[in-house]
Amino acid sequence: MIITLKDARITRDSWSLTAAGTFDQGIHLISGDVGSGKSTLALVMAGLFPVSGGCIVKEGISSCMLSLQFPELHITGRTIAEECASWGTRPEDILVTTGLTGREETSPFYLSRGELKRFHLACILAKDYDLLLLDEPFSSLDCEEKARLCSTLERRSRGITILFTHEQDILPRVVRVWEIYDGRLTDCGRPPDAFRHWHHLPVSVRKLIALGSVPDNISRQDLREAACRIQG
């Protein structure tokens, strides 16, 4: 399974972005400042926004899902049970994993922002998509939920997962780091080599490198191991 951006050019009013690169199986991180075009790029890769130049080629990808940043826009069911069914998932499974047992008949609009985001992600992650695009999946989640999300993503045994996020603190292990910088999608490479070229390198990783210990990847466990090597 791969998705390739062949000199794709994306234009929206006066803003534009050029993107080229190949995404293979595993978790990819696309970082960038707010307003840099991450969400638009996610739409393009999902086939929901056109490119003004170049093309997107998908090979071996038969299913694709995009999670938008604001889950309330996805709501189509009048109850949580209906909403689960609209995603093609079993309500019983989702309610248990999200701690919403007993609230099947509640309207999704009555969930708090954190509950709704957690519920929405659970519905999406319950199915196995070849290409999974997650736009700011960590927003509105607390630290524990961010860590749980990272574990869930790392457990995905197949498929391409692309995270579009400006999150810096709690991240999963990734196979490749990308960033949108200066109107261009840049392939920073595989960690830890990627750290040399990455403008949005997390502060904690930067500090570890300054202290002489380079983490193998960007997850919390990698940071702890790198810290242990210093203390060690």
Partner 1 sequence: MQDPRIRIAASAILSVTAFISVPGAAFAFLWWLVFTPGITLIQKNRLVLPLVLMTGFFSLVLELFGGNGLSYFIRMSVIILVGMWLYSEQRPGEFLDTGVWLFGDRAGFDLGLVAEMGMQSLSCIIADFERVLLAARVKGMRWGIHSLIPVGLILVHGALARAEESAELLAIRGYRSGGVWNPVFITKPWDGVAGLAAVCAGIFAVLPVSEFFILYR
Partner 2 sequence: MIAIESLRWRNLTIDALDIGPGVTTIIGPNGSGKTSFLRICAGITVPDQGTVRIDNLTPRETRIGWVNEFPDRNILFARVTDEIASSLRFHRTISGSIIGEEVRACAESVGILHLLTRTVRELSGGEKVLVSLAAALVNRPKVLVLDEYDSHLDARTGEKIDRAIRASGSRYVIRCTQHMDTAMSSDHLLFFDSGGVTHSGRPGDIFPSLKGTAWYPAAWECGA
How far the first Cα of the chain sits from its last, in Å, is: 41
How many other CB atoms are found less than 10 A from the CB of residue 217? 21
Q: Which stretch binds partner 2 (CB under 8 A): 22-30, 31-39, 43-51, 187-195?
A: 31-39
| Phi/psi of residue 204, nearest 5 degrees | -65, -35
Judged by DSSP in three states, 174 sits in coil
How far apart are alpha carbons 177 and 7 in whole angstroms? 18
- Exactly one of 93, 142, 193, 216 binds partner 2 (CB under 8 A); that residue is 142
SS3 201: coil
64/111 with CB nearer partner 2: 111
Sheet of 131-135, strand order: 53-59, 2-12, 15-23, 184-189, 176-181, 26-31, 160-164, 131-135, 64-67
Contact yes or no for 165/31 (Cβ under 8 A): yes
170 binds, among partner 1, partner 2, none (CB under 5 to 8 A by kind): partner 2
CB of 109 to partner 1, least distance (A): 5
Q: Find the binder of partner 2 among 139, 154, 175, 189 (CB under 8 A).
A: 139
Which of 12, 24, 50, 76 lies at the binding interface for partner 1 (CB under 8 A)? 76
Contact between residue 205 and residue 215 where contact means Cβ atoms under 8 Å apart: yes
- Contacting partner 1 within 124-153 (CB under 8 A): none
Q: Which does 72 bind (CB under 5 to 8 A by kind): partner 2, partner 1, none?
A: partner 1
Q: Least CB distance from residue 9 to partner 2, whole Å? A: 21
State which of residues 12, 90, 184, 207 lies at the interface with partner 2 (CB under 8 A).
207
Tokens at 128, concatenated:
């196995």
* Contact call for residue 73 and partner 2 (CB under 8 A): no
Residues that bind partner 2 (CB under 8 A): 32-35, 69, 112-115, 118, 136, 139-147, 166, 168-170, 200, 202-205, 207-208, 211, 220, 223-224, 226-227, 230-231
